[in-house]
Structure 1
Amino acid sequence: MTPTAQQDRPGAHRVLIVNDDGIHAEGLALLESLARQFTDDVWVVAPDEEKSGASHSISLSVPLRARRIGDKRYAVKGTPADCVLLAVWELMANCPPTVVLSGINHGENLGEDMTYSGTTGAAMEAAILGIRAIAVSQVRKIGGTPRFDVARQHGGRVLKELLSCDWEPGIVVNVNFPDVDPEQVTGVRLTALGRRRLGTFRPVAGADGRNVPYYWIKVSYDPGESVDGTDLAAMRDKAISVTPLQIDLTAHAFSARLAAVFGDGSAPASINGA
Structure 2
Amino acid sequence: MFQILLTNDDGYDAVGLKALIEALSPIARVTVVAPAKNKSACGHSLTLDRPLRMICVQDDFYKIDDATPTDCVYISVGNLFKDGYKPDLVISGINIGANMGEDITYSGTCSAAMEAVLHGIPAIAISQVCKNMCQGIENGWDFELAKQTISKLATKILEGSFPLDERKFLNVNIPPIKAKDCKGFKITKAGFREYGNDTDRHLNPRGEEFYWIGLHPLIWKSSDDKSCDFEAIKENYVSISPIMLDMTSHSDIKNLENWLNN
Q: TM-score, normalised by structure 2?
A: 0.89
1:248 alignment counterpart? 246
- Equivalence for 1:179: 176
Give the counterpart letter for 2:256 in structure 1.
L
Distance in 2 of aligned mates of 1:155 and 1:247? 22
RMSD between superposed Cα atoms in Å: 1.8
Aligned length in residues: 251
Q: Displacement of 1:14 after TM fit? A: 1.5
Unaligned runs of 5+ in 2: none
Question: Which sections of structure 1, spanning at least 5 residues, go unmatched?
Answer: 1-11, 264-272
Partner SS, residue 116 of structure 2: helix
Q: Which has the larger radius of gyration?
A: 1
* Preserved contact between residue 96 and residue 133 of structure 2 (Cα < 8 Å): no
Cα distance in 1 between the residues matched to 2:127 and 2:103: 11
Question: 2:8 touches 2:93 (CA, 8 Å); kept in 1?
Answer: yes
Give the alignment of 1:26-41 within 5 angstroms.
26-39=15-28, 41=29
Matched, 1:23 2:12: yes
Alpha-carbon distance in structure 2 between the residues aligned to 1:161 and 1:178: 21
**One-letter code aligned to 1:155:** I
User: Which residue in 2 is equivalent to 1:170?
Assistant: 167
Q: Which residue in 1 is equivalent to 2:108?
A: 118
Shift of 1:225: 4.4
Q: What is the identity, as a one-letter code, of the residue corresponding to 1:16?
A: L
Residue 194 of structure 1 aligns with an amino acid whose one-letter code is G
C-alpha spacing 1:153/1:125, structure 2 compared with 1 (3 Å): closer
**Map of 1:159 onto structure 2:** 154
Q: What is the alpha-carbon distance in structure 1 between the residues aligned to residue 125 and residue 99 of structure 2?
A: 9
**2:58 is aligned with 1:70:** yes
TM-score, reference length from structure 1: 0.86
Change (3 A) 1:18 1:219: same
- Find runs of 4+ consecutive structure 1 residues off by over 6 angstroms: none
